[in-house]
Structure 1
Amino acid sequence: MAISMKLPFTANKVKGLLFRSAYRHIKEGLKLFRVMIADDEHVIKNGLKNFIDWDELDCQIVSEASNGLEALEELKTKKIDIVITDIKMPGLNGIELSEAVSKHYPKTKVILLTGFADFSFAQSAIQYGVIDFIIKTNPLDKIQEAIRKAKSFIIQQREADSKIRQLEEVMTNTIPEIKRSFLQDVLHRSIHPADVETKAQSLGINLKHYFILAFDIKTKADTDSYNPDKEEHLITSVIHFLNQSFKDYSPILLIPSNETVILLVSFEEDDYSLHIRDVNRICNELIEISESFMNTVVSVGVSNMHTSLLELHIAYQEAKQALSEQFYTGLQISMIESVTSIVSAKGNDNISIEKVISYIEANYSNDIDLQTLANHVHLNSSYLSRLFKKETGETITEAITRYRIQQAKLLLQNSETKAYVVGMMVGIGDSAYFSNVFKKYTGLSPKDYRAKFR
């Protein structure tokens, strides 16, 4: 059985009540200045409250106090813009209250109410930034004038604070953009090599050791049709994750695009094995989260560790090449076919092998011999030679040569540098020997290999 009720007011009346209620809340919010009245005389307080048009002044009385101590307690818990206070009050007088406000709440403005007899005494409050002294027998418009004066000071302070915040925000947002733009220019070799170091120092960029990470981000094939907004949201989510996860590595986003993100991560200590494990962990977390919660497949390519900004374009090519050589969907921490993938991080011997690999990657363009490497890891040269072969499946000489050829391949692909100069750049000064070794590893001469990429 349906039950009907006759309400004592109509729907339109309800709407009117709700509108007026909402309007009152909005109007209260528009009152930009919060006022406290401190006076031990109730007549004075009530007069100020009821005979001044606070709405017209854009003010709201948010607090009352009967003495200076009460006023201070109110200031501790409420945001007060203007304090209107009598000079003579029990406990803490108006002068003492002005001093406390000046010290602890410097943005709060004080207006003093005074009688004829204590006006000269009130002059000492000038040092505490009191806005005005109003004789109680003066008309109310004198108080209103003082309130407008206080408002003017507050507005000026707010505008100054706003400009400072805007400047700080601009600096916060601009400096990373300037750094990113500079690194992009270095990446694309738009800056003369001789100028790179000077400009880097002026921007506070000091990359002692760094990796380049390339991320390929794609939604799974069985998802709905392409949605650009969804794709943009995915990229934004991935970038946020990377910035948070790599925050200890001073991450710099170099290239964000529809499907590929290029990230630079840097670090101070030359502990290759520690950092690559950390990179591996973070990337695996990203892959798992992306697949589980975003229905997205993320693949990753990581460059070798580099120590010079002039090698940034090489690191970039390494990361892209590693990304293209995906052996399986998901993470591809391929260090350009580096034997690092073969070496597990267990025991001092394996740490020594990782240090050898790091040394080779950082110094491949120089002469490297077995004894130099043995000294670097504090091992007997014969023992190191046997250990390296056992752990990696290749000799140290083979590892050095293979890595040099990999770097030569990148240089031939991405520059017009003559082949014999490329050989010198990767530590093989004999051009004939370089050509023979290159062909042995690639099946092509340096000239023919370059032609494949033209």
Structure 2
Amino acid sequence: MLKVLIADDEYFIRQRLKKIIDWDELSLEFIGEAENGKEVINKIKNNQVDILLLDIKMPIKSGIQVAEYIMVNDIKTKIIILTGYNDFDYAQKAVKYKVEDYLVKPINKKTLNEALNTCKETILKVNEKQQKIYDYNKFQKRTNIYNTILDFNNVKKLYKEYKEFNNYEYVQFIGIFFPGNHDIYVASFINYLLRNINKFNNENISIESFKENESVSILQLIIKSQDAITLNNIKSVISHFITDTNVVFISIGDIIPIGKNWTKNYKLVWNQLYQRYFINDNMIISNKLKPNNKYKSIAIRKKLLLCLNSKNNNALKKLINDIFTNISKSGSKDYLILSLTEIFVTLQINYPDQVNSNKSINSFVQELIAEDYSLEHLKEIVFTYTDQCLEYVNHEKPSNTSMVSKIIKYIEENYTDPSLSVSEISNYIDLTPTYIGSIFKKVTGQSILQYITELRMDHAKKLLRTDKYNITEISQMVGYSDVFYFSKKFKKIHGCSPKNFS
């Protein structure tokens, strides 16, 4: 609600004005009154005042002097002059000081409310325009920072374009894996970091956040000085924040000089998030944990086919358990990918109807491990596929098809909600996220999150073709609160940015 201050040296006029204004209908809030020009200036200095109803003749400082003060100090308050004098000279001065309207006493209720409504609409239009400019500049800045992270630009270019970077000496990357209400969690996490790390050295850091997929964000901490901030400080602060949840995994990179290449540290933090599959903790610091690459290889393809073709369910379960035991012992993301790729390539070649993927197996596996949290969940997914292969039929079970149809209908009804997640859908279906995810992927060839993303992007294309909305509005209309992330996903799927789409 816009805030209104009433300034007139006559008490009864102030009371009448308060009474005849349609506050609720106009969505305006009364925040106070003043009886002289000096009092008005003091209230404007100490409070947000959007609209000032200002008597032109007041003691100590006149209304014209107040209007001059507001203009000279570039204060955004809009002024409606109230006067008992229908004098051209007063009107001329009012125009000079950019007064919005000029009302002659006695003031009619309808005239006053119309003037207030017009003034309100002017303010809202200015605010909307300023917000668009702010959003665009923020988007451009984040794009330039992200391009520097990916080594497309160098830091010196940022120094030239954004002078504030000259005040900072260090950077650090922090990776966050959190499924579910990811955006809400990350926003809370950032606020917590700013409050608690800055207390070591007031206003020492700023934070940029880059959402990489529906479960992963990479934070960049930009640090003024390292006097009171160490890895141990940061570890301590983060540990307190993540105590209450067991579905989050945080990777913490080194604190490096800001002029040093960022890409290596960014990639390190990204890759370390995959250690969530191999360690019994929900946080990893720097590159302290080295994976054990001396793993025992299993001839997966031949053994898997033997178990499936012989319909030996016990042998199949033992084989998969052995595979995942070796994956766990290896501590290696690469071995995890290799093993899952071997499993799904074997299934796709020999049971194509049971692994209905419209993407390469490599992409299928990469997306699988990017979305999940534990080896146990991945093992459950593999069991789901192999069980279906054991009971191979030429068509999907009606129950599976029916469940997937129900999920798709729910997504289509709720895709505009930024908080839509697999967890929310699983609550609606009343089955575990892992189970509905594996069945959905088996029937449709893509994960639930992929389906949501592609649906949103298809609708974004249609909205872009109308030329009615800007990119920020379209982003919000298809369920993305972060326009930078929306643009990145759109470009990945459609090959060009929303701005260049036609």
The two structures have a TM-score, normalised by structure 2, of 0.37
Look at both structures and tell me which one has the larger radius of gyration over its CA atoms.
1
